[in-house]
Amino acid sequence: MKEIRIHGRGGQGAVKASEIIVYAAVEDGKFAAGFPYFGFEKKGGAVTAFVRIDDKKIREKNQIYEPDCVLLIDPTIMAEVDVFKGMKPGSIMVMNLPSLDGVSIPPNVKRVAHIDANKASLDTFGKLLPNTFVLGAFVKATGWVGLDKVTERTAEIWGASNVETIAHGYRNATIVDL
Question: What CATH number is associated with residue 86?
Answer: 3.40.920.10
Predicted local distance difference test score (pLDDT) of residue 116: 98
Full residue range of the structural domain in which residue 79 is found: 2-177
Predicted local distance difference test score (pLDDT) of residue 41: 55
* 116-169 pLDDT tens trace: 999 999 999 999 899 999 999 999 999 999 999 999 999 999 888 889 999 999
Q: 143 CB contacts (<8 Å, ≥6 apart)?
A: none
Q: Is the dihedral of CA 16, 20, 21, 23 positive or negative?
A: positive
Question: For the chain, how many structural domains are there in total?
Answer: 1
Mean pLDDT throughout 43-61?
A: 91
- What percent of the chain is modeled with pLDDT above 90? 84
Residue 71 has pLDDT above 70, yes or no: yes
